[in-house]
Chain A
Amino acid sequence: MFFHIVLERNMQLHPRFFGRNLKENLVSKLMKDVEGTCSGRHGFVVAITGIDTIGKGLIRDGTGFVTFPVKYQCVVFRPFKGEILEAVVTLVNKMGFFAEAGPVQIFVSKHLIPDDMEFQAGDMPNYTTSDGSVKIQKECEVRLKIIGTRVDATAIFCVGTIKDDFLGVINDPAAA
């Protein structure tokens, strides 16, 4: 699920950036530092949408670095148990398959794939129904439900299922 929230961060800025466009430098550094990171609490920071306030800088003794407390708005993505996501399959093996929904990796184990889909080893490993009408392979898009998440301090990993109504392959660029 996506959220638009306000976060705060203390930015350390090198003295060489002190000048006319200090603020621009600060913001671009913030974006470089924060976007794409993952915190267990808020999830993945997808994008910074605005800066609320930049507090008074504090010069560090010895280094000359200046610390600015910055409040910024950002879009975060946090997967939840029970959430339905659309993901792209990245890897298929006999244990199941891995898929990615943006920054999140999701594993769907074999017993959470519908029973009528069989693993086919080979050049392009895939799961296929007995009549061959549905095929899960690399690069195809699936809709899945998250049934478990593991949230570490800096990473989130999910386990999903496609063994439910309206879940499964939604688009297969390879077949098209």
Chain B
Amino acid sequence: MEKSGPVQKAVVLQPFVKLVRLVARAFYDDYTTKSDNQQKSARSDNRGIAAVVLDALARRQWVREEDLAKDLQLHAKQLRKIIRLFEEEKLIMRDHRKETAKGAKMYSAAVAATTDGRAEDKVKLHTHSYCCLDYAQICDVVRFRLHRMKKRLKDELEDKNTVQEYGCPNCQRKYNALDALRLISMVDDSFHCENCNGELVVECNKLTSEEVVDGDDNARRRRRENLKNMLQKLEVQMKPLMDQLNRVKDLPIPEFGSFLAWEARAAMAARENGDLNPNDPLRSQGGYGSTPMPFLGETKVEVNLGDGNEDVKSKGGDSSLKVLPPWMIKEGMNLTEEQRGEMRQEAKVDGGAGAAAKLSDDKKSAIGNGDEKDLKDEYLKAYYAELMKQQELAARRNQQESAGEPTSGIQSGTVYSGRQVSMKAKREEDEDEDEEEVEWEEKAPVTANGNYKVDLNVEAEASGGEEEEEEDDVDWEEG
């Protein structure tokens, strides 16, 4: 069901879910909601409950905590305690909302969209809490946690240059060895608190502190042994978790967005699918507050753009022949004047095809899609067709005008067209030079997609980079 959301088209949730499950078992396995002084009987032993909750959350997106409690057959209070723990540990996002019946309905609609299941009409008039796993943060938190664990053990093992800390037992104030000069008292040879003049004690954060008391050789060796063991065990036991972290590192992280955004999106998706949901927020006329839902519907435009894009791609893919567009022709390419001008069509076909194939190879490796070039090609084809037509028209007109003197008329006609062509060629060279701006202006409205812009950028740099560099060089020499 988590796959049905409109959000994660590209992202794969599976590795992240696995990560969460591993984390749950590694760190929250023995978490219990009971306080320590309570007598633990076999029945009330609820160890592993945190893992269960995390697993359940990994199967959902945003979920109302009451619903979660119901699904897990847990007491709401108990669940809330665990949820609060996870919130403190930065594993989940929470959202609280004072809800009217309609708000609740909207959530139900959203749930119906993501679960395509029933959504119970729960109508209550008080604050509801929602929670959702924050995968991005989970990755960071877990990595940091592992790092800290290892660092602490290693420091301990090597007695790594740690600045000793001292604490005041009375006022809980903390000092470290750098404060020593201020803390030393004239009366006796111990440190005294600046606040309450209480005697400071060494903050013992040693992991195996029982044995540190006596400094004899044996105890020290035992301690080191212990630490080494612990470090080894840590490495072994955390191995799957670390592997999973590494696997997840380069993947796109699933984002559900804030609760409101998610809800709106889910509702939109439901409407798009044509679900005649009685709880649909649009039909229920007005969501929370009095914001009409159609506003939130605007977000869908982005989705449409993406789809349209794919259409373009498929259309462009049909034309197998890659022709050389004018912005690829540079000074360095040995194209004759005719090829640039009059013989343009041929140049495009034969000289261009080779170059285009060559270019398209590294382009494809660098950029990943050539559809943008296709767009340009089509644009160019149209442009040339129009140009040819105009030239023909002009030539014909010239011929008609100079019907009396056939020889000169033909000459003038050819001259005229030649000038046209050369002008055009010049214009193209100009375009070459400042094609960055031109291309941007022309293409920007067509391709208002994020991906696309990046590609364009690369393209522009790839073709215009050399000239820019040359210009830069000149500047430097002049300066």
Q: Give A contacts to B, CB under 8 Å.
A: 91, 93-96, 98, 105, 107, 109-112, 115-118, 125, 130, 145, 147-150, 157, 159, 161, 163
**A112 touching B164 in the complex, CB below 8 Å, given contacts A105-B181, A107-B181, A157-B178:** yes
With a cutoff of 8 Å between Cβ atoms, the chain A residues found around residue B184 in the complex are: 91, 93, 95, 98
With a cutoff of 8 Å between Cβ atoms, the chain B residues found around residue A94 in the complex are: 189-190
CB–CB A116/B215 < 8 A: yes
With a cutoff of 8 Å between Cβ atoms, the chain B residues found around residue A145 in the complex are: 161
CB–CB A95/B181 < 8 A: no
CB–CB A148/B190 < 8 A: no
B191 within 8 A of A: yes
With a cutoff of 8 Å between Cβ atoms, the chain B residues found around residue A148 in the complex are: 161, 163, 177-178
Pull 15 A–B residue pairs with CB atoms less than 8 Å apart, ordered by A: A93-B184, A95-B190, A95-B191, A96-B180, A109-B163, A110-B202, A115-B220, A116-B216, A117-B215, A125-B189, A147-B163, A148-B163, A149-B178, A157-B178, A157-B181
Q: Give B contacts to A, CB under 8 Å.
A: 159, 161-164, 176-178, 180-181, 184, 189-191, 202, 215-217, 220
CB–CB A161/B180 < 8 A: no
CB–CB A159/B177 < 8 A: yes
**A159 touching B190 in the complex, CB below 8 Å, given contacts A111-B164, A115-B215, A116-B215:** no
Chain A nearest CB: distance from B207 CB in Å? 14
Closest to B159 in A: A163
CB–CB B215/A95 < 8 A: no
CB–CB A147/B161 < 8 A: yes
CB–CB A111/B190 < 8 A: no
Closest 10 CB pairs of A and B: A93-B189, A147-B161, A109-B164, A107-B180, A150-B178, A159-B177, A148-B163, A115-B215, A109-B177, A115-B220
The one of A95, A111, A115, A147 in contact with B180, judged by C-beta atoms closer than 8 angstroms, is A95
CB–CB B178/A111 < 8 A: no
CB–CB A109/B180 < 8 A: yes
Complex-state Cα separation, A121 to B100, whole angstroms: 73
Closest to A130 in B: B216
Chain B nearest CB: distance from A81 CB in Å? 9
Chain A nearest CB: distance from B1 CB in Å? 54
Complex-state Cα separation, A113 to B125, whole angstroms: 65
With a cutoff of 8 Å between Cβ atoms, the chain B residues found around residue A163 in the complex are: 159
Complex-state Cα separation, A150 to B180, whole angstroms: 11
Closest to A148 in B: B163
With a cutoff of 8 Å between Cβ atoms, the chain B residues found around residue A161 in the complex are: 161
Chain B nearest CB: distance from A92 CB in Å? 8
Complex-state Cα separation, A150 to B159, whole angstroms: 21
Chain A nearest CB: distance from B225 CB in Å? 14
With a cutoff of 8 Å between Cβ atoms, the chain A residues found around residue B202 in the complex are: 95, 110-111
With a cutoff of 8 Å between Cβ atoms, the chain B residues found around residue A157 in the complex are: 178, 180-181
Complex-state Cα separation, A164 to B389, whole angstroms: 88
With a cutoff of 8 Å between Cβ atoms, the chain B residues found around residue A110 in the complex are: 164, 202
Complex-state Cα separation, A93 to B164, whole angstroms: 15
**A95 touching B220 in the complex, CB below 8 Å, given contacts A111-B164, A150-B178:** no
With a cutoff of 8 Å between Cβ atoms, the chain B residues found around residue A105 in the complex are: 181
With a cutoff of 8 Å between Cβ atoms, the chain A residues found around residue B161 in the complex are: 112, 145, 147-148, 161
Most chain B beta-carbon contacts within 10 A, residue among A91, A107, A147, A149: A107
CB–CB B215/A118 < 8 A: yes
Complex-state Cα separation, A140 to B191, whole angstroms: 23
Complex-state Cα separation, A160 to B479, whole angstroms: 53
Complex-state Cα separation, A112 to B177, whole angstroms: 11
Complex-state Cα separation, A115 to B163, whole angstroms: 16
Complex-state Cα separation, A157 to B181, whole angstroms: 8
**A111 touching B159 in the complex, CB below 8 Å, given contacts A116-B215, A150-B178, A159-B178:** yes
Closest to B161 in A: A147
Closest to A121 in B: B189
Closest to B164 in A: A109
Chain A nearest CB: distance from B66 CB in Å? 52
Closest to B191 in A: A95
Closest to B223 in A: A115
The one of A91, A107, A115 in contact with B177, judged by C-beta atoms closer than 8 angstroms, is A107
Chain B nearest CB: distance from A121 CB in Å? 8
Complex-state Cα separation, A98 to B189, whole angstroms: 12
Complex-state Cα separation, A98 to B159, whole angstroms: 20
With a cutoff of 8 Å between Cβ atoms, the chain B residues found around residue A116 in the complex are: 215-217
Chain B nearest CB: distance from A8 CB in Å? 31
Most chain A beta-carbon contacts within 10 A, residue among B162, B176, B180, B215: B180
Complex-state Cα separation, A163 to B178, whole angstroms: 18
Complex-state Cα separation, A150 to B177, whole angstroms: 10
Complex-state Cα separation, A13 to B216, whole angstroms: 63
**A159 touching B163 in the complex, CB below 8 Å, given contacts A115-B220, A125-B189:** yes
